[in-house]
Amino acid sequence: MAASGDRELKRVEKVYSFWGKFPYLYRMQDTITFLGKAGTIRKNAVKKLGLRKGDRVLEVACGSGRNFSYLAEAVGKKGFVLGFDYSREMLNAAKELCRQNRWDNIKLVQGDASQLKIDENGFNGVISVLGISAIPGWEKAIRRCHEVLRYGGRMVVCDARLFGGFLRFLNPAVLLVYSKFAAWDPSKNIPKQMKKVFGNVRAESYNLGTFFIAVSSKKNTAKKAKN
Q: Which residues bind ligand SAM (CB under 6 A)?
A: 12, 16, 61-63, 66-67, 85-87, 90, 112-114, 129-131, 134-136, 182
Which residue number, 6 or 204, has a Cβ lying nearer to ligand SAM?
6
Which residue number, 62 or 145, has a Cβ lying nearer to ligand SAM?
62
CB of 51 to ligand SAM, least distance (A): 17
**Phi-psi category of 200—alpha, beta or left, where left has phi over 0 and alpha has psi -120 to 50?**
beta
Which residue number, 152 or 155, has a Cβ lying nearer to ligand SAM?
155
* CA 100 to chain CA centroid, nearest Å: 23
CB atoms within 10 A of CB 52: 12
The residue number with the shortest CB distance to ligand SAM is 63
Which residue number, 3 or 225, has a Cβ lying nearer to ligand SAM?
3
Which residue number, 75 or 156, has a Cβ lying nearer to ligand SAM?
156
CB of 59 to ligand SAM, least distance (A): 7
Query: What is the distance between the alpha carbons of residues 112 and 100, in angstroms, rounded to a whole number?
Result: 26
List, as own/partner pairs, every contact residues 150-153 make where C-beta atoms lie below 8 angstroms and the sequence separation is at least 24, other chains included: 150/122, 150/123, 150/124, 150/218, 151/218, 151/219, 151/220, 152/124, 152/217, 152/218, 152/220, 153/122, 153/123, 153/124, 153/125, 153/126, 153/217, 153/218
CB of 99 to ligand SAM, least distance (A): 18
CB of 182 to ligand SAM, least distance (A): 5
CB of 165 to ligand SAM, least distance (A): 25
